[in-house]
Chains A and B, each alone.
Chain A
């Protein structure tokens, strides 16, 4: 069973020279062996050094970085010692990289075919007249449609998923023995991601190429890799088979990480992993994970643990790898009905959205002369939703679903093309914030996705929190300061944060400030726009818990938008599913996540990746790029696996309602949708 050793990384340390000639380490003492045909996942969060490892293994160092010590031996040669031309022969050929963001990684001025032919020219034995045919064959292998046409296109003419496939084809062109993949599915839609992963798995099975898959997403890694390596603070902390690492990891970090991931099968907020990863370059006295570890002992803080091979096959960097006997219950269970402690016992509607329609089209000259709204298919159409006091309504969908646009319209940042918005009985203006009065603006607050962007980099935290306080309330300076401190307390940050600048905070801390800022206005509705999507996995659970606690305390209602179905399920009472700006399904979160499903919801649910080696996503919808919603008929008509016929293309599907407020918009009856499963039973009850 021992295959040949392809790549042997020995004691590699990589870093850069910081101020005062100190060496700041990004990677410390990395030892990794890759055998032929092996699939390894390298898992870690931001700051773990995983991407740097992939690049270092190809002997590539960004300007400023250098290898302080160690070897990278490939097929007997130490790549770090070889000269440029020897390394160039190997890169792109025997070792290939599939980059993270292929849209940026493909040269904009060269056609797709030319870029792939370049690899053929450098690394293969094909003759120039054979390049074109070979390229078309490669594009076909990565399941791109019409490869003969695509070959002459430029990168920006392709969708994200297509660009990623091109990058895979480019890697395959060199007939690699080893492929490095740097987060290849980040930024892609869930359904597209499932397709790409399936492709990768098939390729590896077929060609027996060794693969090193770098990612923060344990679910993705579980699909493709037989072996998992976990990194933390620039070091390898665990190395074992995928099954072992995912089911019984012998290190507290992956253990806590797995517990903190939201899972679709459990409608609860998982247990947060407190703290944050250390800044790169800081070499702690003891174990790097000690300050976040539940089982840390004195030895952990003073002595650095070394890698030790255990009897069960895993290699771990921990003094106490066994799971401690405290069996903390996993997360706080959330009953399906609304929690009686919250204020939601009265189900009066706080916010009612009726037939909301939005468009990004600007009125043409003709429209302006005739005084009519812009023509064309609206980006978002016919949205009717209600939000009760204290309730959390989740909006789920992928890119193009319009979910963020709806939030912006609710906040007043986007004017409505049509429809009504009624807050507590009062109709709010369609035109936007300029037309609403301050009392209403105060009641509805918005938290954005990216905390780097939503906080003014030139203001201190105190100034940032003072903005809403001074705008909505009449307070003295002392009172403002006191309120700010109270708010910080509520989001569990100390008062010393007041004098800091956003650039000095981590992503999780910044998001807490953004949440504190929203709650400073004492709102009744908080709109959350993908608030956890930009955060590290281990930090997401803490933010979700924070939101839940704030809701319990203040009785605020949330409209929670996310593409992550598990996260939405964990937090929401009711969920609405959107596709291309139209509603597909709406109901309680329990009802939506089980049959009967709208065909799109079904595709979504089955694309979600669980960190479980026995789990396989099902690819249900075709991987077609939508350029916009169709003018007539069901929004999902082009991709639906349950497409009936012409009726789906021409008539808007009716709402099929069930007793407890669960509605699905489809031409199939509820009964027909309930039997949607072919041979498997319902995965999530």
Chain B
């Protein structure tokens, strides 16, 4: 006698991409988050085509002017159109971080998985080094490299990718530990599968979710770092439009032309909030426990 079916028809394409997207966007917070992110990325990409002015065009007459029909958000201290610069202000930041984030997650993830699997002395030594590295303030680590090798994307991208990949090692290692103790990994070992096979076939699909959520968060931390660096003068360089730079410039003129400062603030904040909301919704959809997240860097 056969066993009865009992259950509804499955979707064996377990949590495929569209399924995840749909599920994330079914929550209001997730929907807002995804929309914000998409909006920002789109604007970053097409902004050179749609902006009314040249972002570097200085004007000696129209400095710090109030918003009017020709300059919707007014002009900054060098007479440049604020709207143009705000729309283009995310380009470099998004470009740099969008490359550095996957690199960080990949190298940190693989090292973390490897350490989680292999354990023993290598793991101990490596974690001591990681702890030691994490004990130094992020600004110190990054500035040392930037000041030595110069600013510019070729330095910023690997620097960010390297230093922001280190916490990923920890996350990946913990996620691996959680999975490795489970019997199906032991079963694969007992059958005689190779280590590579176990990593890719058994382990990775189970660790992938934690890494994805962490990746989303990493992107937001990296954007914050890039903006902070720009603010301090070590990230994007003038005359490039960058939100961090703009905020730094506008600091002295807040009384006179608040919009020149508030506009980039608004832009940066909405992007980061969008990413965070997306990461939160992603975590809830995938069932990743983010309760024990430590602070950034």
Given contacts A441-B190, A441-B192, contact A509 B183 (CB under 8 A): no
CB within 8 Å of A: which of B1-59?
Answer: 1-7, 10, 12, 14
CB <8 Å contact, B184 and A433: no
**Tally of A-B Cβ pairs under 8 angstroms:** 85
The distance from the CB of B171 to the nearest CB of chain A, in whole angstroms, is 18
Query: Which A residues touch B206, using CB under 8 A?
Result: 456-458
Q: Mark B153-196, 1 if CB is under 8 A from A, else 0.
A: 00000000000000000000000000000111011111111000
B249 contacts the other chain (CB 8 A): no
Which one, A433, A450, A453, A458, contacts B190 given CB within 8 A? A433
A291 contacts the other chain (CB 8 A): yes
Which one, A446, A460, A504, contacts B7 given CB within 8 A? A504
Which one, A274, A291, A448, A467, contacts B183 given CB within 8 A? A448
B202 contacts the other chain (CB 8 A): yes
Residue of A nearest to B206 (CB): A458
B201 contacts the other chain (CB 8 A): yes
Query: Which B residues touch A411, using CB under 8 A?
Result: 190
Size band of the interface chain A makes with B: 35 or more
CB within 8 Å of B: which of A427-471?
Answer: 433, 436, 438, 441-442, 445-446, 448-450, 453-460, 467-468, 471
Query: Which B residues touch A517, using CB under 8 A?
Result: 187
CB <8 Å contact, A500 and B12: yes
Given contacts A458-B206, A501-B14, contact A274 B3 (CB under 8 A): yes
Which one, B2, B6, B10, B191, contacts A499 given CB within 8 A? B10
In the bound complex, how far is the Cα of B14 from the Cα of A330, in angstroms?
A: 44
B137 contacts the other chain (CB 8 A): no
CB <8 Å contact, B4 and A448: no
A506 contacts the other chain (CB 8 A): yes
Given contacts A413-B186, A456-B184, A459-B205, contact A438 B3 (CB under 8 A): no
Query: Which A residues touch B184, using CB under 8 A?
Result: 453-456
In the bound complex, how far is the Cα of B161 from the Cα of A369, in angstroms?
A: 40
A276 contacts the other chain (CB 8 A): yes
> What total of chain B residues lie within 8 Å of the partner, measured CB to CB?
25
Interface 9-residue window, one of A77-85, A132-140, A353-361, A490-498: A490-498
Query: Which B residues touch A450, using CB under 8 A?
Result: 183
Which one, B2, B4, B10, B190, contacts A446 given CB within 8 A? B190
In the bound complex, how far is the Cα of B8 from the Cα of A282, in angstroms?
A: 13
A644 contacts the other chain (CB 8 A): no
Query: Which B residues touch A505, using CB under 8 A?
Result: 7
Residue of A nearest to B12 (CB): A499
CB within 8 Å of A: which of B227-244?
Answer: none
CB <8 Å contact, A493 and B3: yes
Given contacts A413-B189, A467-B191, contact A454 B183 (CB under 8 A): yes
The distance from the CB of B124 to the nearest CB of chain A, in whole angstroms, is 12
Residue of A nearest to B201 (CB): A467
The distance from the CB of B20 to the nearest CB of chain A, in whole angstroms, is 14
Residue of A nearest to B181 (CB): A453
In the bound complex, how far is the Cα of B192 from the Cα of A521, in angstroms?
A: 12
A279 contacts the other chain (CB 8 A): yes
Query: Which B residues touch A291, using CB under 8 A?
Result: 4
Given contacts A454-B184, A456-B184, A493-B3, contact A412 B190 (CB under 8 A): yes
Residue of B nearest to A506 (CB): B6
Query: Which B residues touch A413, using CB under 8 A?
Result: 186, 189-190
Given contacts A411-B190, A500-B12, A501-B10, contact A453 B3 (CB under 8 A): no
In the bound complex, how far is the Cα of B10 from the Cα of A448, in angstroms?
A: 25
CB <8 Å contact, A456 and B190: no
In the bound complex, how far is the Cα of B205 from the Cα of A438, in angstroms?
A: 25
Q: Mark A323-353, 1 if CB is under 8 A from B, else 0.
A: 0000000000000000000000000000000
Which one, B14, B183, B193, contacts A458 given CB within 8 A? B14
CB <8 Å contact, B205 and A467: no
In the bound complex, how far is the Cα of B202 from the Cα of A458, in angstroms?
A: 8
The distance from the CB of A155 to the nearest CB of chain B, in whole angstroms, is 23
In the bound complex, how far is the Cα of B201 from the Cα of A471, in angstroms?
A: 13
CB <8 Å contact, B188 and A279: no
Given contacts A413-B190, A441-B192, contact A453 B183 (CB under 8 A): yes
Query: Which A residues touch B205, using CB under 8 A?
Result: 456, 458-459
A145 contacts the other chain (CB 8 A): no
CB <8 Å contact, B192 and A471: yes
The distance from the CB of B120 to the nearest CB of chain A, in whole angstroms, is 9
| Listed A/B pairs (21) with beta-carbon separation below 8 Å | A291-B4, A408-B186, A412-B189, A412-B190, A413-B190, A433-B189, A433-B192, A436-B192, A442-B192, A445-B190, A448-B183, A456-B184, A458-B205, A492-B1, A492-B3, A494-B3, A496-B5, A499-B10, A501-B12, A506-B6, A508-B3
A457-B206, A494-B5 given. 15 additional CB < 8 A pairs? A412-B190, A442-B192, A445-B190, A445-B191, A454-B183, A456-B202, A460-B14, A467-B188, A467-B191, A471-B193, A492-B3, A493-B3, A500-B7, A501-B14, A506-B6
Chain B residues with CB under 8 Å of chain A are 1-7, 10, 12, 14, 182-184, 186-193, 201-202, 205-206
Q: Which 7 A-B residue pairings sit nearest by Cβ, starting from the closest?
A: A441-B192, A458-B205, A454-B183, A453-B183, A448-B183, A411-B190, A499-B12
Chain A residues with CB under 8 Å of chain B are 274-276, 279, 291, 408, 411-413, 433, 436, 438, 441-442, 445-446, 448-450, 453-460, 467-468, 471, 492-494, 496, 499-501, 504-506, 508-509, 517, 521
